[in-house]
Amino acid sequence: MLIFKIFRMPEWAELRRTGTTQGAPVDLADGFIHFSTLDQAPETAARHFDGVANLMLVAVEADELGEALKWEPSRGGALFPHLYRDLTLQDVRWAQPLPLENGVHQFPAGLDAGE
């Protein structure tokens, strides 16, 4: 199952440059890297990146993260994937721009949780 992380371009560039990240400032403050499922990602984008352009949508295979990935309650009690270790560039299955059109982030067409 793929899970998703939304990065601002400087955060994505830093991950590509160094090969590892502890995440965005919110991740550092919370002590884990926030991810979303396919169903959760659009609301995450709307809530936490409202009006923010130049984002990258990064897909990671949840099963490959091992015991460092915990499913914990968050918004409305829904379980969200939280990574309790650094994210490496090797963890990334794929990354695509997440364009902002008319104030709404446009997720890739045909996106499937298993892709």
Instruction: Give the model confidence (pLDDT) of 67-113 as tens digits.
Output: 999 999 987 889 999 999 999 999 999 999 999 999 999 998 877 65
Structural domain that includes position 88: 2-99
Q: Classify strands 20-21 and 87-88 as parallel, antiparallel or unpaired.
A: antiparallel
Q: How many domains does the chain have?
A: 1
What token pair was written down for 92? 């990334």
User: Does 61 map to a domain?
Assistant: yes
Other C-beta atoms closer than 10 Å to the C-beta of 92 total 17
Instruction: Give the model confidence (pLDDT) of 17-74 as tens digits.
Output: 999 999 999 999 999 999 999 999 999 999 999 999 999 999 999 999 999 999 999 8
What token pair was written down for 73? 């309650």
What token pair was written down for 72? 């914990």
**What does pTM read for this prediction?**
0.92
Here the CATH number for the domain that contains residue 9 is 3.20.170.20
User: Does 115 map to a domain?
Assistant: no
Q: Report DSSP state, residue 108.
A: P
User: Does 111 map to a domain?
Assistant: no
